[in-house]
């Protein structure tokens, strides 16, 4: 077996685990998770077999959008702890061999950030240009037709200074002006603050939003829009996102990360393949290491669609680009809710055997499915502003169930969001010793991935197979592994001959059983 070169960055063969801090572990009895709680549960993450933790925002915030409205880029929200608690968590993670990534939010701040308080104080304030202010349109009203991602105009009138400010999300999340050199310098100083503290990188929120087109022209109307999708999608975000200047800023961020050596930048990017791939930059002027790839979340769950998705994505990558995949996040429906628990096991194998860096979302390793949020407990501002179209994110942010004690061991009081209804049986303690559990499957998959360079670093080749079967080879040096995934609830022919190293199901059969995925070592060629 060929051994990987020690010069290969850790994240190429590594796996990232997303922690949503509000919902991981409450240590102080307020019903909300915190940094000390995460530290308490690090051994679960180590036992799972991942390499890095990504924390959703922990910065001081009014929590209008649960941390994505930042009031101080160099502090910790008291609800989660303080800088000392963060330093303890970071040290504890590093002591266990885990990397730790923070969620950096560069497109917008909170309207309570001191920068914005100064900016809106007067038109002549030195920080006025740190945000995006414009006069009303000639006939009155907003400067253009841009729509907030949360619905309604992306412009908010400020009566005190007689101008509109831009907000791509909530009106309490004003957009920062990255064309202002002083603002850019301040944001880079914030990144340095955390790098100097020892963080191993950042996941960069809505990176493709951070620069807007000069002149602020209207966005074109989307002819495919219908009332079943978000109001934002009435328009094509041609001028409000993915501007050339944003790529230059991403390259500067990468240069900063490279100064510290071994730090990772993951960019949140929602774009078609050709535009998505540009966020890698070039070998001479690299941008983010991993532009997040959400296609396993966005596309239909069938073999033909997945095969085409994988092929098109792989073909779009530049030679220096490394792929990445996710099947769940704090913004998306749970994978088990979307495709059912049986196929969620197959999805776990797909995620952890494709070429590229996978990101797991907390709770998916337990197979948490649909969680119904009563109307009176809805907290997500996106759903509150646009009810009835199924875009609520609370369902994916429910607390982690640890055991069958009161409040699932997450807290000593009622949590901020409801637990999954089956928490008494679907929890970490219940699945820990069960050889057939989802948790055990994830642990076995991650152990196999860590042990086999073909899975962590190898090439991929899609293979023709029976209908409803997605099949591919992974190769590294002289090692060759085969993966076959049955995406149906009927038996299918096995496309390979070989020794089964791991199945998503107990027992064994000559063919592919319904809802089964297998990793094989091929039989010797005659």
Residues 6+ apart with CB under 8 A from 95: none
Q: Regarding the domain with residue range 114-166, which homologous superfamily does it belong to in the CATH classification?
A: Oligo-1,6-glucosidase; Domain 2 (3.90.400.10)
pLDDT > 80? residue 526: no
- The share of the chain scoring above pLDDT 90, in percent, equals 93
pLDDT band at 5 (very low <50, low <70, confident <90, very high): low
Give the integer Cα–Cα distance in Å for 213 and 331. 27
Q: Can you name the CATH fold of 459-522? A: Immunoglobulin-like (2.60.40)
pLDDT > 70? residue 3: no
Each residue's pLDDT tens digit, 239-255: 999 999 999 999 999 99
CATH number of 10-108+181-445: 3.20.20.80
Kindly report the backbone phi and psi dihedral angles of residue 91, in degrees, each rounded to the nearest multiple of 5, phi listed first: -65, -40
pLDDT > 60? residue 2: no
Average pLDDT score, the chain = 96
Domain ranges for the chain, please list them: 10-108+181-445, 114-166, 459-522
Give the integer Cα–Cα distance in Å for 299 and 306. 8
pLDDT > 60? residue 525: no
Residues 188, 256 contacting (CB under 8 angstroms): yes
pLDDT > 70? residue 199: yes
Each residue's pLDDT tens digit, 357-406: 999 999 999 999 999 999 999 999 889 888 877 889 999 999 999 999 99
Residue 334 DSSP code: -
Kindly report the backbone phi and psi dihedral angles of residue 205, in degrees, each rounded to the nearest multiple of 5, phi listed first: -70, 140
Of 30-44, 106-120, 329-343, 370-384, the least confident: 370-384
Q: How high is the pLDDT of residue 462?
A: 98
pLDDT > 60? residue 1: no
**Residues forming the active site:** 205, 259
CB atoms under 10 Å from CB of 82, counted, come to 13
Residues 431, 437 contacting (CB under 8 angstroms): yes
pLDDT > 80? residue 13: yes
pLDDT band at 229 (very low <50, low <70, confident <90, very high): confident
Residues 365, 24 contacting (CB under 8 angstroms): no
């Amino acid at each position: 077996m060929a051994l990987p070169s020690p010069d290969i960055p850790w994240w190429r063969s590594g796996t990232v685990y997303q922690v949503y801090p509000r919902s991981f572990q409450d240590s102080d009895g307020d019903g909300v998770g915190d940094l000390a709680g995460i530290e308490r549960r690090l051994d679960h993450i180590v036992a799972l077999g991942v390499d890095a933790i990504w924390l959703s925002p922990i910065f001081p915030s009014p929590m209008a959008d649960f941390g994505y409205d930042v009031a101080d880029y160099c502090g910790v929200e008291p609800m989660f702890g303080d800088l000392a608690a963060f330093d303890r968590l970071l040290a504890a993670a590093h002591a266990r061999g885990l990397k730790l990534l923070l969620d950096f939010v560069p497109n917008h701040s909170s309207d309570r950030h001191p920068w914005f308080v100064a900016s809106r104080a007067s038109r002549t304030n030195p920080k006025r240009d740190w945000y995006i202010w414009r006069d009303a349109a000639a006939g009155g009203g907003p400067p253009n037709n841009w729509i907030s991602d949360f619905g309604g105009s992306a412009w908010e009138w400020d009566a005190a200074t007689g101008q509109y400010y831009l907000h791509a999300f909530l009106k309490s999340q004003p957009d920062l002006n990255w064309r202002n050199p002083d603002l850019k310098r301040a944001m880079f100083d914030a990144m340095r603050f955390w790098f100097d503290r020892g963080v191993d990188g950042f996941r960069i929120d809505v990176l493709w939003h951070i620069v807007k087109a000069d002149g602020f022209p209207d966005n074109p109307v989307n002819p495919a829009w219908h009332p079943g999708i978000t109001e934002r999608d009435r328009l094509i975000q041609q001028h409000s996102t993915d501007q050339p200047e944003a790529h230059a800023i991403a390259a500067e961020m990468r240069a900063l990360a490279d100064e510290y050596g071994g730090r990772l930048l993951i960019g949140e990017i929602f774009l078609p393949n050709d535009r998505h791939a540009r966020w890698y930059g070039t070998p001479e002027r690299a941008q983010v290491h991993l532009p997040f790839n959400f296609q396993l979340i966005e596309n239909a769950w069938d073999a033909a669609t997945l095969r085409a998705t994988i092929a098109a994505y792989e073909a779009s990558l530049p030679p220096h680009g490394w792929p990445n995949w996710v099947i769940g996040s704090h913004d998306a429906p749970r994978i088990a809710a979307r495709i059912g628990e049986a196929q969620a096991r197959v999805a776990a194998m797909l995620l952890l055997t494709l070429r590229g860096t996978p990101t797991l979302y907390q709770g998916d390793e337990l197979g948490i499915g649909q969680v119904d949020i009563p109307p009176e407990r809805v907290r997500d501002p996106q759903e509150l502003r646009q009810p009835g179209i199924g875009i609520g994110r609370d369902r994916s942010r429910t607390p982690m169930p640890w055991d069958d004690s009161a409040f699932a061991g997450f807290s000593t009081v009622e949590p901020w969001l409801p637990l999954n209804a089956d928490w008494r049986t679907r929890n970490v303690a219940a699945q820990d010793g069960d050889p057939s559990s989802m948790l055990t499957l994830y642990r076995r998959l991650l152990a196999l991935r860590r042990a086999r360079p073909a899975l962590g670093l190898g090439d991929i080749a899609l293979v023709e197979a029976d209908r409803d079967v997605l099949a591919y080879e992974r190769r590294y040096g002289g090692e060759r592994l085969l993966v076959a995934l049955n995406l149906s609830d009927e038996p299918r022919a096995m496309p390979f001959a070989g020794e089964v190293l791991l199945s998503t199901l107990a027992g064994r059969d000559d063919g592919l059983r319904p809802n089964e995925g297998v990793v094989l070592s091929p039989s010797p060629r005659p």
